[in-house]
Amino acid sequence: MPELPEVEVFKRYFDATSLHQRIVGADVRSAYVLKGISARELVRQLKGRQFESSKRHGKHLFVRVSENLWLRLHFGMTGSLCYFKEEGKAPQHTRVVFVFEKGHRLVFDDQRKFGQIGLIEDVDDYLKKRALGPDTLAIDLKQFEDILKKHRGPVKSILMNQRLIAGIGNIYADEILFRTCVHPATQVSALTNRAVATLFHATRHILRKAIDAKADLQRIPRSWLLADRGKGGKCPRCGRELKSATIGGRTAWFCAHCQGRAVKS
Ligand SMILES: [Zn+2]
């Protein structure tokens, strides 16, 4: 599932391929991903215009079309982007094709169809309406501390709560907690100030490193949990078998040996 690093990689890909070209049409092959807009309206609004710039917030990507018009993309479980210059190259799960002049195309590919495409007038209004928290990479230590101190619950649930901090999902929450040796079920109230600061720096480190690695498993350091995360996986630090538990409605993977529950000093 695309989280902050994957969406940032999509943003950079979008910026490198799809800005400043005249849009001549949009081919909607699965209207299921369109939210709050019809295929006909999408085409009508985009035709003759250009994508001017883009902006990421958490797991959302917003593309500016004009002053009061933004394309909104959410990648759901399996969404991705693919730009190509020749016909007949569309990926298998093409849902929407944005067609530029000279026949160049940008495809929104999404096998499981949980992705979303919409048009909005204002990004800040949209974020407010959806009650999304600040972007994880845009907050400082003080804001991070406030968020953790003002809420109760397992630290993993807090990290994944998009209304508190936007961008971290199941995979990267596990990775951040693994790096800091914190058990995912640890109550935030039990974290010392020092542990919170460590968590903050680890969060930035993990997300930035993942972006640098283009969120590509082959490039992610082997010392991370990511490649081993799953049944039968071994802790890259101590070699013991990883454990799983349901926390905040999602499956957490962790090393029971390395990630101690007791962090109270
Ligand atoms: Zn371990």
Pairing relationship of beta strands 105-110 and 94-100 according to DSSP bridges: antiparallel
29 part of the active site: no
Active-site residue 59, yes or no? Answer: yes
- Cα(263) to ligand 1 centroid in Å equals 16
Identify whether 261 is a catalytic site residue.
no
Q: Which of 29, 209, 237, 250 is catalytic?
A: 250
Distance 243 CA to ligand 1 centre (A): 10
179 noted as active-site residue: no
Give the dihedral of Cα atoms 74, 80, 83, 88; nearest 10 deg.
-120
- Say which of 11, 56, 59, 229 is annotated catalytic: 59
The CB density around residue 240, as the number of other CB atoms within 10 Å, is: 12
Centroid of ligand 1 to alpha carbon of 175 (angstroms) = 13
SS (H, E, C) 119-181: EECCHHHHHHHCCCCCEHHHCCHHHHHHHHHCCCCEHHHHHHCCCCCECCCHHHHHHHHHHCC
Can you tell me the distance from the alpha carbon of 54 to that of 178, in angstroms, rounded to the nearest whole number?
32
- Supply the DSSP symbol for 240: P
What does the pLDDT profile of the chain (265 residues) look like in tens digits?
A: 899 999 999 999 999 999 999 999 999 999 999 999 999 999 999 999 999 999 999 999 999 999 999 999 999 999 999 999 877 778 899 999 999 999 999 999 999 999 999 999 999 999 999 999 999 999 999 999 999 999 999 999 999 999 999 999 999 999 999 999 999 999 999 999 999 999 999 999 999 999 999 999 999 999 999 999 999 999 999 999 999 999 999 999 999 999 986 444 3
DSSP class of 228: T
Chain position carrying tokens 């935030």? 188
